[in-house]
A and B are shown apart, each in its own frame.
Chain A
Amino acid sequence: MKYKDYYAILGVERNADADAIKKAYRKLAHKYHPDVSKDPQGEAKFKDVAEAYATLKDPEKRAAYDQLGKHAPGENFRPPPDWGRQFGDSHAFEGIDLSDLFEHFTGHGRGAGARRAHMPIPGQDYEGAAHISLEDAYRGATVDLELNVSELDERGLMRRVPRSFKARIPKGATDGQRLRLRGKGGKGLNGGPDGDLYMNIALHPHALFRPSGHDLYLDLPLAPWEAVLGATVQVPTLGGTVELKVPPGTQAGQKLRLANRGLPKPHQGAGDLYAIAQIAVPGIVSDKERALYRELAASASFNPRGHFEEEVKHERQTH
């Protein structure tokens, strides 16, 4: 069994009183709780903090933990020979870790199994994240999820075991959506119902499309003459390339809507795809092209900054 220094995890002295332990826990919980923290490592850190607090806040568990002695964090150790007799079943130490040992610790040899022998115990719920591509969200996908979960063994003791899940994600998933896999959590005991698995959907960023709910946004670069004269251009969508008519006089930033070309909605319909017009300027121009641009500049009456003078005048009049 690997040793974890619960006092060091909470940042308190070994002789800290209950109030100091509670205060340290609360401070760290505010920082790392997965429902409030933005730290990507927050969930893992909070797990350690919660595990340490669950043991140290309970005087009986804390006494049993202290009796294990002080070791280096991560060091392999065995509880002292009399520890099992004093606090629980010594046969239960094999193949479990410290959190498993204390999660259902009841003290004085009253094993969790004894207390729970006839009580229906619902199975634990599991949570996991499924990272999928936008293409998977468009078509639907089957994902494999590997989780390290806590499960009660036949003696009612918690053990950490690897579990594999295969789930069908229906088409139309969006970022942050939740799916429930009924009965795929931990097994219930004594007739208790099995737990569920909750899956959070996380979409990988896409090189072209930016999702907003079920709508998609795509930047559509246009040559200056395409924006002025209008054009028919090929546009990629998740369902294949389509033709889009760009109207004459299209401005940069204007959104051209392709109805129902976004992500399908789970129950019916689909989002839209918006192509955002951008005017792209060639980096290198030939002599002939330069000459044509100069000719255009000389004969064009268009002044894109014509409103500056008027706006300045208006500001002076109003202030």
Chain B
Amino acid sequence: MSARLTETTWLDAHCEVTFAELTSLSGLAEAELRELVEYGALTPNDPRATQWTFSGECVVLARAAQRLRASFDLDPNALSLAVGLLERIRALESELRALRAQLPRRVR
């Protein structure tokens, strides 16, 4: 039987998820998610809003946080630090890729 075609959603800045959706998608408890926000590892679209919403990129980060917590038994403070550092590495790698793309190759 052939698989049915599925439509997809980008997990990017244009995709918005609620706090409840983010807990359900990441598998993190509400308290854990709040602590990640408190420590600055995740930033809501509007931190002053009464109902937090997050960009789709936060889904990727929160899921990584859940995997790290489960695999390394990290407490919220260490988890926030690890997630923050991973995000910095991702941003630096992306910048490095962009700069490498701009380097001319040898003319044949």
Contacts and interface: CB of A to CB of B under 8 A. Distances in A.
Contacts of A35: 64, 67-68, 86
Interface in B83-103: 86, 90, 94, 97-98, 100-102
Interface string A47-77: 0001000000000000000000000000000
Contact of B98 (A165, A177, A212): A212
A281 to B, nearest CB: 8
Interface stretch (B3-11, B36-44, B46-54): B3-11
B12 A181 contact: no
A122 B25 CA distance: 11
Contact of B7 (A168, A211, A255): A168
A239 to B, nearest CB: 19
- B-side interface mostly: helix
Interface in A235-279: 252-253, 255, 266-267, 274, 276, 278-279
Contacts of B10: 170, 177-179, 266
Interface residues of B, number: 35
Interface in B1-43: 2-12, 14, 24-25
Contact of A267 (B8, B14, B67, B100): B14
A291 B62 CA distance: 68
A176 B94 contact: yes
A131 interface: no
B105 A180 contact: no
Interface string B54-78: 0010011001100110011000000
Q: Name the residue in B6, B68, B90, B108 with the highest tally of chain A Cβ atoms < 10 Å from its Cβ.
A: B6
Interface string A196-215: 11110000000000111101
Contacts of A3: none
B104 A182 contact: no
A217 interface: yes
A167 B6 contact: yes
B102 A217 contact: yes
A161 interface: no
Contacts of B9: 179-182
A314 interface: no
Contacts of A178: 10-11, 56, 59-60
Contacts of A212: 97-98, 101-102
B97 A221 contact: no
Given A166-B3, A180-B9, 18 more contacts: A33-B72, A35-B64, A35-B68, A35-B86, A50-B71, A122-B24, A125-B63, A166-B5, A167-B5, A170-B10, A178-B56, A178-B60, A179-B11, A180-B8, A182-B9, A211-B101, A278-B104, A279-B107
6 contacts: A176-B94, A179-B9, A180-B8, A193-B24, A212-B98, A266-B14
Interface of A: 26, 29, 33-36, 46, 50, 122, 125, 142, 144, 163-170, 175-182, 184, 193, 196-199, 210-213, 215-217, 219, 221, 252-253, 255, 266-267, 274, 276, 278-280
Closest 9 CB pairs of A and B: A210-B101, A212-B101, A212-B98, A164-B3, A179-B8, A178-B11, A166-B3, A280-B107, A217-B101
